[in-house]
Amino acid sequence: MKLNIREATIKIKLISETERKHENILADAFVTFKEEEGGYFTVSGFKIWKSKFEGGGLNVTVPRNKHFEFCKFEPAFWRRLKLEIIKAYEYEEIPIIG
């Protein structure tokens, strides 16, 4: 099977402090990959979290449970995707002034 991915879009779901299972988890991310022929697939379960160490910044984990990662990405692709997810999160965090 050959998939010609045309674009990827990222949706962020912020997690309120009362909904958090862990204090460092900030949001969930969903990445939708769209192919040239119009089909698409969505990978859900990415977690955005802040480092507990001072100056640690933000990080992203792939969908997983305790014993298994559900996705494996080529390292260079994963670095680019992680940066795009963090950018989408930072954009989502900008307050709307009305």
Query: Which pLDDT value is given to residue 72?
Result: 87
pLDDT tens figures, 6-19: 999 999 999 988 88
To the nearest whole number, what is the mean pLDDT of the chain? 89
Closest CA to 62 of 84, 43, 77: 43
Whole-model pTM? 0.84
pLDDT digits (tens, 9 = 90+) for 43-73: 999 999 998 776 778 999 998 888 887 888 9
Confidence class of residue 31 from pLDDT cuts 50, 70 and 90?
Answer: very high
Distance CA 79, CA 39 (A): 25
